[in-house]
């Protein structure tokens, strides 16, 4: 995401912001290429396992 980062100072606070549309497109592409990157630190986490597998399917 680094190429999309916009950095600015707000008072004495350093803010880093990202343009929503481009950031969403880049994140979605990365997740499609490697769904496992969304997994939490718990290798046995059932919710993440199911999410990586495609999430719940309605009607099945
Ligand atoms: Zn998890």
Q: What is the 3-state secondary structure (H, E, C) of 5-19?
A: CEEEEECCEEEEECC
Per-residue exposure over 32-55, b if at least 16 CB sit within 10 Å of its own CB, e if not: eeeeeeeeeeeeeeeebeeebeee
Q: What is the distance in A from the centroid of ligand 1 to the CA of 49?
A: 7
Q: What is the distance in A from the centroid of ligand 1 to the CA of 33?
A: 19
Q: What is the distance in A from the centroid of ligand 1 to the CA of 8?
A: 33
**pLDDT, tens digit, 9 for 90 and up, residues 16-56:** 999 999 999 999 999 999 999 999 999 999 999 999 998 87
Q: What is the distance in A from the centroid of ligand 1 to the CA of 50?
A: 9
Angstrom CA distances, 28 to 11, 13, 15, 22, 23, stand at 33, 29, 24, 10, 8
pLDDT at 60: 59
């Amino acid at each position: 995401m680094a190429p999309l980062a916009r950095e600015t100072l707000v008072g004495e606070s350093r803010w880093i912001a990202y343009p929503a549309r481009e950031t969403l497109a880049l994140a979605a592409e990365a997740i499609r290429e490697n769904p496992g990157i969304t997994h939490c630190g718990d290798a046995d986490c059932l919710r993440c396992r199911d999410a990586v597998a495609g999430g719940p399917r309605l009607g099945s």
